[in-house]
Structure formats: structure tokens, C-alpha cells
Amino acid sequence: MASPSRTPKLDLSISGALVALSVFVLWGTKEIPPPFFDPIGSAAFPKYTAYIIIALSLAIALRASLALRKPNSPRKKSFREEPLLAISVVITSALYVLSMQWELLSFRWATLVFIFLLSALLSKFEKRVMIFSAIIGIVFGFGGQYLFTEVFYMDLPQ
């Protein structure tokens, strides 16, 4: 079950971010009025949770810094990772959401463009995938709009 940290640098970064988040939560709890009918009130639970997160973050950071001191041979992966693709998935998804939030596109057109674009990116513009993804985009964009609004009675961005 137990093992030394295999991702010490990431652990340190996450611990730091979580301590900052906890401080932000503790600052937020100051706005909560004191309890008026029960002993602990609404601020207590987030406060306790934030304190526990700080304590655990420090323990994880300590463990990670101990692991950093030891020479660690990186494990070789059997495949090449594509961090740029992962980032592009997040960015494309965010643009897809924004296009509808700012009412630039309706669900059907935004979905069509999104499916085509992201499939093309992920397949590194492979011609066959692009053709199929265009078809899928049309079917999902227009068919999906009909299915979800008319059959499942859900509102989608118009």
C-alpha cells in the first residue's frame, strides 16, 4: 500500500497550491456570521477541512522533498505522451463553451465545428478521420439537438 512518492515535483506543486487554496477558504470563512442556534455554525466545517488539508499538504510536501533528495531513475513509458494535445483538448473545449455562452453559435453549429476540429487535432489531421468526423459532427450536432430537445426535453443553447 505505502510507497515513497513517485511524483515528488508534482506533489510539491500540488501541496503548495492546496495550502494556498486552504488559506483562501479560511479567509472566506471570516465572512460567515457566527452560529445562532447550534454550537459550531456554518464556518466550522470548512475551517476544520482547511486545517486538515494544510496539515496533509505539509506531510505530502515533506515526503516529496525527502524523495527528491534520492536519485530516482525515471520510468520509461512504452508510448510517447502528447501534452500539447491534452492542452488543446482543454482549450478547444473552453472555446466550444464560450462560443455558446457568448451566443456566437447555437449548439448544433458549435458541436459540428467542435467535433470536426478536435478530431482533426487529435488525429493530427489524418484525412480519413477528418472525413468521418465531419459526418459525425453533422449527425451529432443536428441529430443531437433534435434528440435531446424533442425526446429528452432538455434545453440546449440556441
- DSSP for 121-152, written as a single string: HHTTS-HHHHHHHHHHHHIIIIIHHHIIIIIS
* Residues of this chain, 98-127, that bind other proteins according to CB under 8 A: 100-101, 111, 114-115, 118-119, 122-123, 126
Binding other proteins (rule: CB under 8 A), the pick from 23, 59, 104, 131 is 59
Sign of the Cα torsion 126, 131, 132, 133 reads: positive
**Choice between 41 and 68, CB closer to other proteins:** 41
Interatomic CA distance for residues 58 and 19, integer angstroms: 8
Between CA 82 and CA 90, with CA 85 as vertex, the angle to 5 degrees is 135
Q: How far is the CB of 73 from other proteins (least distance, A)?
A: 13
Site string for other proteins, 125-144 (x = CB under 8 A): -x--x--xx--x---x---x
Binding other proteins (rule: CB under 8 A), the pick from 45, 72, 104, 143 is 45
- 94-to-66, 88, 99, 108 alpha-carbon distances in Å: 38, 10, 9, 16
**Choice between 68 and 122, CB closer to other proteins:** 122
Site string for other proteins, 9-28 (x = CB under 8 A): -xx--x---x--x---x--x
